[in-house]
Amino acid sequence: MLLMQKVDKIIIEALEEDMNNGDITSDTLINDNQRSKAKLIAKEDGILAGCEIFTRVFDLVDSHIKMNLFFKDGDSVKEQDVIGKLYGPTKSILKCERIALNLLQRLSGIATMTNNFVKEIEDMSVRIVDTRKTTPGLRVLEKYAVRTGGGFNHRFNLSDAVMIKDNHIKAVGSIKMAIEIAKANIPHTMKIEVEVEDLEQLKEALDSKADIIMLDNMSTDMMKEAVILAKGKAIIEASGNVTKDRIKDIAKTGVDIISIGAITHSVKALDISLRFC
C-alpha cells in the first residue's frame, strides 16, 4: 500500500520541475474553455504499476478532469490495449501528460521486468527481492512497483537493518569484529546481514552468528557449497550478475533469496501513450 502523502510530495515536486512558471505552449495556444477526450494506450505488452499515481497527477492539477481506467495495478496489458480514457480541460490534460506518463511508464517497466524474473522461478521456493539501487527520490514508488510485479522488498533504507559489506569489513578489520560491534550497539530485534565473497568469509560469518548472509558474485557451484555449509544457521541471499538466463540455476542452488539491482536501476520504461481522440 502506498502512503499518498508521500506520493503527492513526489508528484508536486515533479510538476514544479516541469512547469515552474506554467506551460508556455499550452497557455499560449489553448483556450481556457476548451475540452478534450484522450485515450491511454499500451504500445507493448507488460504489467501495469502506478495507475493510482497516474490518476493522482491529474487530480492535483485539475479536479475537473474525469478518468476511467479499465485496468488496475498488477494487470497484464497487451499492445494496443486501451488502458483508460479521460476527459476534461485540454490545457490541464496537456500540463499533466508528461509527468503522469513518466511515472506510469517507469513503474510499469519495473513491474514488468520483475515479473519476468519471478515467472522464471515461480515453481521454486525462493524470493526475488530488490535493492537500494533506486532512482533518488522515487524509492517508495519503485519498491511498490517491484511488489506489484510479484517481487519482494529488501531493506528500505540504511536505517532498517545492519548490512555489513566489503568496505565495512575493510574499515573495521574483519567480519567477526564487525558483527561483534554491531551486536553490542543495536536492539535485539534488529537483524545483521553480511556480504561474503568466498567460503572462508562465509564460515567466519556463520561462526559469528550472522542472521543473513549475502553471497556476492559467487559461481553457482560455490553457492551450492555455501548453502550446504549454512543450512539451518542463516538465511542465504544470492546477489550479483543475476540475469534471466542464469536465475533458474541460481535458484536451484537452494538459496532463500535472490536480490536483483537491475529491476530498478536498469529497467526499460513500458511504452504507453496518451492520445487525443
pLDDT, tens digit, for every residue of 52-92?
A: 999 999 999 999 999 999 999 999 999 999 999 999 999 99
Percent of the chain with pLDDT over 90: 97
Cα–Cα distance measured from residue 145 to residue 104, given in angstroms and rounded to the nearest whole number:
10
Pairing mode, strands 127-129 and 257-259: parallel
Mean pLDDT for the chain overall: 96
- 36 pLDDT above the threshold of 90: yes
- Note the pLDDT of residue 4: 83
**Residue 133 known to be catalytic:** yes
Cα 166-236-123 angle, rounded to 5 deg: 135
To the question of whether residue 233 is assigned a binding role by annotation, the answer is no
**Does the annotation list 207 as a binding residue?**
no
CATH code of domain 4-118+268-276 = 3.90.1170.20
In residues, how long is the chain? 277
Q: pTM of the predicted model, to two decimals?
A: 0.95
User: Which residues belong to CATH 3.20.20.70 in the chain?
Assistant: 123-265
- The partner residues of 66 in beta bridges, in order of sequence, read 87
Q: Is 260 annotated as a binding residue?
A: yes
For the chain, give every residue range classified as CATH 3.90.1170.20: 4-118+268-276
**pLDDT of 107:** 98
Q: Which of 142, 195, 204, 237 is catalytic?
A: 195
261 annotated as ligand-binding: yes
Q: Is 203 a catalytic residue?
A: no
Q: Is 239 annotated as a binding residue?
A: yes
98 is catalytic: yes
181 grid coordinates: 560491534
Q: Is 195 annotated as a binding residue?
A: yes
Q: What is the mean pLDDT of residues 145-162?
A: 96
Residue 204's CB: how many other CB atoms inside 10 A?
Answer: 18
Find all residues with CB under 8 Å of 142, minimum gap 6, and list them.
106, 107, 110, 130, 134, 135, 264
Model confidence at 146, pLDDT cuts 50, 70, 90, reads: very high
- Average the pLDDT over 135-162 and give the result: 96
- The answer to whether 123 is a known ligand-binding residue is no
pLDDT digits (tens, 9 = 90+) for 263-273: 999 999 999 99
pLDDT band at 157 (very low <50, low <70, confident <90, very high): very high
Query: Considering 130, 193, 204, 216, which one is annotated as catalytic?
Result: 216
Is there a contact between 192 and 183 (Cβ–Cβ < 8 Å)? yes
Task: Name the CATH superfamily, with its identifier, for domain 123-265.
Answer: Aldolase class I (3.20.20.70)
| 143 annotated among ligand-binding-site residues | no
Q: Of 43, 133, 176, 191, which residue is the catalytic one? A: 133
**Among 98, 183, 224, 252, the one annotated catalytic:** 98
| Confidence category of residue 1, pLDDT binned at 50, 70, 90 | low
Contact of 211 with 235, CB cutoff 8 Å: yes
**Is 191 known to be catalytic?**
no
The question of whether 165 is a catalytic residue gets the answer yes
